[in-house]
Chains A and B, each alone.
Chain A
């Protein structure tokens, strides 16, 4: 099971990103573990400079914008 983290301080785009990942996973019937990281110190520890960022299994795969559903599919499949 993929462990996906959305890094973001709680802005609108970060919520949209997390919701979109959850929706895509549900649509594809893939089970994932989704976590939202809102603590600045933790966000900084991943070395990202713009949010929302997405971390899949410990690796930063996306930064600075809402990922498209197609891109999300690529992560969870």
Chain B
């Protein structure tokens, strides 16, 4: 493996940006051929055009590479963005910020800062030690896992930029409002005592300063793609296969009666259903696809997706190390209420 890596990285070391430009050109070229290619393949299989089966197969053959390619592009870009924003830099930007503007900034930075829920605890402590208010810290911790490039990239690839933007707006709104509410309650006493003790010892030690070259950044983008797309490709195939099946066979208004716009209880039901469920952004997409295709309202489907991603047992167990049970319960209640309200509002506005 080491020899393969070293020979592969010899070339881009000299011209990383040229290589990216070549990659983009190739990407565009291949992308433009996907649709004609899918029809050609269906023809080769000898399926009669116009039949349900031919339609479903063509949809699958076109959408699978399309979604994979779009997601790869988004994830690659995000891998490069991550090299510009470190948690330390984000903490510095948020230190001493007031409620409101601070919450909005924290939610926004939560999207672009590299975040893994396994480092949620050191991050939480680091934020508090640098004087970031509790409510602002929560805005970050809500936005970071919920509004990420996998969720946005897959929504964009499968449902278009409107749905992706809507999810982005809903996610930011939930993170800002829930963070502000948690901050206003003044719950600092519900943080575990050992964390409160550490909080009184201001910490300024920054991460080791490293200067990255463009070669490093491009390589980080590639690494991000291998890590993310290597993990979620199976969900994409599942999601598209499900979509293909639905397009052809299941009646259009199957779900509309339970999750459509007219049922007032649909959003609360979706959120309640989503809280105990746990999967990553990629895993929930096939379900969202099924819901939307069958007439579920957009706000309902996205609220469901958010509650699945934002509130999960593993994440709460990690946060329990720094938050007392009362604060965990309040956190869950407020975030769930926020998702619910946003879902209802979007259903009625759209």
Contact = CB atoms under 8 A, between A and B. Distances in A.
Interface of A: 8-9, 11, 13-14, 40-41, 43-51, 60-64, 69
A8 to B, nearest CB: 7
Nearest to A40: B121
Given A9-B118, A43-B121, 17 more contacts: A14-B118, A44-B122, A47-B203, A47-B205, A48-B126, A48-B207, A49-B87, A49-B91, A49-B123, A49-B127, A50-B87, A51-B118, A51-B122, A63-B207, A64-B87, A64-B114, A69-B2
30 contacts: A8-B118, A9-B121, A11-B118, A13-B116, A13-B118, A14-B118, A40-B125, A41-B194, A41-B198, A43-B122, A44-B121, A44-B122, A44-B125, A44-B126, A44-B198, A47-B203, A47-B204, A47-B205, A49-B87, A49-B91, A49-B119, A49-B122, A49-B123, A50-B87, A50-B116, A60-B205, A61-B208, A62-B208, A64-B87, A64-B114
B96 to A, nearest CB: 17
B122 A48 contact: yes
B86 interface: yes
Interface residues of B, number: 27
A74 to B, nearest CB: 12
Contacts of B324: none
B315 interface: no
Given A47-B204, A49-B126, A61-B208, A40 B119 contact: no
A1 B116 CA distance: 33
A11 B118 CA distance: 6
Contact of A11 (B91, B114, B116): B116
A46 B205 contact: yes
Q: Which 9 A-B pairs have the closest CB atoms?
A: A47-B205, A11-B118, A49-B126, A49-B87, A44-B125, A50-B119, A63-B207, A51-B119, A47-B203
A13 B223 CA distance: 14
Contacts of A8: 118
Contact of B126 (A11, A13, A47, A61): A47
Contacts of B206: 47
B88 interface: yes
**A14, A48, A61, A63: which has the most chain B beta carbons within 10 Å?**
A48
Chain B binding surface SS class: helix
Nearest to B201: A45
Contacts of A61: 208
A50 B123 contact: yes
Contact of B207 (A11, A14, A64): A64
Contacts of A45: 198
Contacts of A46: 205
A10 to B, nearest CB: 8
A50 B86 CA distance: 9
Contacts of B118: 8-9, 11, 13-14, 51
**B87, B91, B119, B125: which has the most chain A beta carbons within 10 Å?**
B119
Contacts of A47: 126, 129, 203-206
Contacts of A40: 121-122, 125, 321-322
A63 B204 contact: no
Contacts of B2: 69
Nearest to B90: A49
